[in-house]
Amino acid sequence: MQTWAELEKIQPLASKLITNSIRRDRISHAYLLQGERGTGKEAIALLIAKGIFCENKIGIEPCNACSNCRRIVSGNHPDVHLIEPDGKSIKKEQVENLQKEFTYSGLESNSKVYVIKDADTLTVNASNRILKFLEEPSIQTTAIMLTENSRSIISTIRSRCQVIDLKPLNPIYFKQQLIENGMDKESASLMSALTNNQKEAFAWNEDEWFAEARKLMVQLVEMFSSKPEDVYLFLHSHLVPHLKDRNDQERGLDLLLLAFKDILYYHIGNEDALVFFQSNNSLLEKLAMRFSQEKLMDILNAILQAKRKLKQNVQPTLVFEQLTLQIKR
């Protein structure tokens, strides 16, 4: 999304709130953009930055052609700083380096913009240090904090930001976008259930790792049905080695969630909603006989609980072992 007009199609309320501030020259000193992955958080952050630095704005719209706009997109603008987690969290030292930048004038203008990705991963010390800027804002400095989980951000930070909630994107609209851009219908159905980011969707669709992860999840679900005594061995010999980091593990759980959702949809006769087992009704019939609707609801809740544990940095192998035991009961 390169313009506010494009963003308005998917986030009309957020777009209206921010563009009204731009028209009145009242951009907030700090924003907290909260919404699911792919809802446009980073696009909004870049549009705000372009609005501040663009040399040839047309009304509220950036030109997307000047040197400043191009450097903001490429991440090379000297007065636009991005902070993202170092490992699993944003560390105190990263914020200290940011605070040093606060003391300098902008290199090319008197304005500065800081974008803090995954702001919910700020450590306690890092959160307390970022408050220094939020409590003593410079009128020429703008902080933009992005998060999928605003409840993990301390209240003192939230209270000093303009909080903007981004609504989930319509998966039907997104699926149609993917198809129009060349993705086959079956893949588009699956990807639109996993992400709202078009670039990410096409990357995953062509990724050998993703194809193998999907294959492993099919095998795992089948094994729960036909050879439950072998699941634990399969987990440690195949699944855990393939899901190497938190992003992999979260995607694995997302695929597993969709697989069990499909079994539930098949149970209740909603076959139009299938996304994981779209062309495998014979397998679905066998799985539906193995898992009751009540059991499937318990499994879906267990997978969601496992996702929360990963977010809380519980040891991943332990998370998957516990989930396996809950599904096998």
- Which tens digit of pLDDT belongs to each residue from 226-273? 898 999 999 999 999 999 998 899 999 999 999 999 999 999 999 889
Question: Please, which residues have CB within 8 angstroms of residue 142's CB and are 6 or more apart in sequence?
Answer: 27, 28, 29, 30, 31, 48, 49, 52, 111, 112, 113, 114
Place of tokens 């062309």: 279
CA distance 44 to 50: 10
At residue 54, does pLDDT exceed 70? yes
pLDDT at 107: 62
**Structure token digits, residue 225:** 């049905």
On the question of pLDDT at 279 being above 80, the answer is no
Share above pLDDT 90 across residues of the chain, in percent, rounded to a whole number: 66
Higher-scoring residue by pLDDT: 325, 173: 325
Average pLDDT of 133-159? 85
Q: What is the chain's mean pLDDT, rounded?
A: 90
Output the six-digit token pair for 61.
């719209």
Summarize the confidence of residues 267-289 as an average pLDDT: 89
pLDDT at 296: 95
> pLDDT, tens digit, for every residue of 77-105?
999 999 999 888 899 999 888 878 767 66
Q: What is the pLDDT of residue 199?
A: 83
Give the CATH number of domain 207-328.
Answer: 1.20.272.10
Query: Rounded mean pLDDT of 123-132?
Result: 88
- pLDDT on residue 104: 67
Q: What residues does each domain of the chain span?
A: 4-165, 207-328
pLDDT of the residue at 137 = 64
- Helices marked H in the chain — which ranges? 4-10, 12-23, 41-53, 67-74, 92-102, 124-135, 155-158, 171-180, 185-194, 198-205, 208-226, 231-234, 240-242, 246-267, 281-290, 293-311, 316-328
What band does 134 get if pLDDT is binned at 50, 70 and 90?
confident
Q: Is the pLDDT of residue 18 over 70?
A: yes
Average of per-residue pLDDT across 177-186: 92
User: For the residues 42-65, what does the mean pLDDT come to?
Assistant: 94
pLDDT of 17 above 90: yes
- CA dist 68 and 49 (Å) reads 9
> What are the pLDDT digits (tens) for 288-311?
999 999 999 999 999 999 998 998
Give the Cα-Cα-Cα angle 51, 56, 61 (nearest 5 degrees).
45
Give the residue, 280 or 24, on which the prediction is more confident.
24
Statement: residue 16 has pLDDT above 70: yes
Share above pLDDT 70 across residues of the chain, in percent, rounded to a whole number = 97
Q: How does 290-325 read in b/e, with b if 16+ C-beta sit within 10 Å?
A: ebeeeebeebbebbeebbebbeeeeebeebbeebbe
In this structure, which CATH number among 2.40.50.140, 3.40.50.300, 3.40.1350.10, 1.10.357.10 belongs to the domain 4-165?
3.40.50.300
User: Is the pLDDT assigned to residue 313 strictly greater than 90?
Assistant: no
* Cβ-based neighbours of 164, under 8 Å, separated by 6 or more: 14, 17, 18, 31, 32, 33, 34, 44
pLDDT digits 0-9 by tens, 184-207: 999 999 999 998 778 889 999 999
The pTM for the full model equals: 0.68
Instruction: Take residue 167 and report the two structure tokens written for it.
Output: 């609504």
